[in-house]
Amino acid sequence: MSISSDLQSHTYRLRLKTRTHVGGGPQARPSIIDLKVWRARTGNGEDKLAIPSSTIKGVMRTRFENEVRRKTFEAIKKSYGSLEDFLYCFLKQFTANVMNYSIDSLKEDLKKVIPKNNRLYSGYYGLGTELPSFLDLHDEELSALVSVSVYDFFPIICDPTSQLSCLSDKDLLGISENEMTMFTLLLQIALAKKLPFSSETCTSCEIFGANGLISAIKVSDFIAITNIPVIPVQARISVDRLMRAVSQAKLFSAEYIPEDIEFKGRIELMRRVPYLSQLDSILDNLANLIQRVGRWESLGFGEVEVLDVMNRDDRFIIHVIRSYIDYYKQNFENSVKKVNFILEGENRDKIINAMNLGKSIIEKIEEGLGRS
């Protein structure tokens, strides 16, 4: 893939393939309709149908993260055999070499953590399994993992909603001041989600932003360019899943935007991500990830198609992972030198051990991906 010379900025049209409802939010004026669709206030005070920038960016980020996890999971299965085997190998090395303690019954306990009916076993990326059994057995040793899920143990990419999401390099300087901060940083480093003083956050946070790190992309609201004289309204009911019946006093009305309506908006690349600089058409491939927006997906709402995408790369996610792996390996030794120069004592040794574990995982993922 060729090197992108300049920062990119593209305008895209988004066409609704099915009826869609994106919530009205605080901008909506008072109305007898319970759920209004989003409207953006223009400079002349006019309200226009729109899909907010936060929705577009959130959809891109979620789909990007899910696809990276799916491809990483496929590589893990090839290199380790199963998710349990990977978790066992990782946690055994992490606890012994980084945290300096061992768990003898770890392998048997992991069988209780991840049930066989988990969707992971079908090769799907629907994760989120909590680890209560594991914590009950090992609450003293791993007390920091209060509400951790399987997501948190996936290499390369973090779960931005987790307590173990990405922390910046500045936290390394005060790593001994907070036990939870230390544990989080060590776990991130050991899972190759960050490379100290070289790659500050995981791939997703580097692109879409994190605490203390500005997003590399900027998204505008997508404003409707198709005229809709009347917005359709539909009466709906709320279902009580526990009682398996209609909830009392839950009849409500909702606006929706019909299919074939087009919106237009802009996506800009604001700064370079080092290991993505050699990938062409980054914005086109990120925009191509947008396939659904809004609520009621299970009812067929919200299917969309992004138009004006000139370059689609079916292997974009694989190229992103491989580019990160190459960058990680190229900068590993320099990162070790920086850690040895800047940090000292026991914390420095733990970080170096975590880095070595991260490097071994990177090599296993690369092996699983192959070089075809």
Q: How would you class 152 by CB atoms within 10 Å of its CB: exposed for 0-12, middle for 13-18, buried for 19 or more?
A: buried
What percentage of the chain reaches a pLDDT higher than 70?
A: 77
Tokens 């067929």: give the residue: 300
Report pLDDT for 241: 66
Q: Which residue has the tokens 């009205």?
A: 24
CA–CA distance, 197 with 193 (Å, rounded to integer):
13
Q: Say if CB 370 and CB 71 are below 8 A apart.
A: no
At residue 287, does pLDDT exceed 50?
yes
| Residues 92-129 pLDDT 10s | 888 778 877 666 555 555 555 554 434 443 333 333 34
Q: Tell me: pLDDT of 144 over 60.
A: no
Question: In the prediction, which pLDDT does 124 show?
Answer: 34
Sign, Cα dihedral of 113, 107, 370, 164: positive
Does residue 43 have a pLDDT over 90? no
- pTM for the predicted model, two decimal places: 0.84
pLDDT (tens digit per residue) in 64-73: 999 998 898 8
pLDDT at site 1: 37
- Averaged over 217-224, what is the pLDDT? 92
> pLDDT class for 181, splitting at 50, 70, 90?
confident
Highest mean pLDDT among 39-43, 114-118, 268-272: 268-272
Locate the domains of the chain by residue range.
Answer: 10-61+217-317, 86-114+140-206+319-369
Higher model confidence: residue 201 or residue 238? 201
The per-residue pLDDT of the chain, averaged, comes to 79
- At residue 337, the pLDDT reads 93
Q: What's the pLDDT at 280?
A: 66
pLDDT at residue 56 above 90? Answer: yes
Q: How many Cα atoms sit within 13 Å of 227 on the Cβ side?
A: 1
pLDDT at position 131 over 50:
no
Q: How far, in Å, CA of 242 to CA of 229, rounded?
A: 40
Q: What is the mean pLDDT of residues 192-221?
A: 88
Span 218-224, mean pLDDT?
93
The whole-number average pLDDT for the span 331-352 is 89
Residue 39 falls in which region: left (phi positive, over 0), alpha (psi -120 to 50) or beta: beta
Answer whether 238's CB lies under 8 Å from 252's CB.
yes
**pLDDT category, 295, cuts 50, 70, 90?**
confident
56-83: string of b/e by CB count within 10 Å (b at 16+)?
bbebbbebbbbbbbbbbbbbbbebbeeb
Higher-confidence residue: 211 or 36?
Answer: 36
Q: Is the pLDDT of residue 213 over 50?
A: yes
Residue 208 pLDDT class (50, 70, 90 cuts): very high
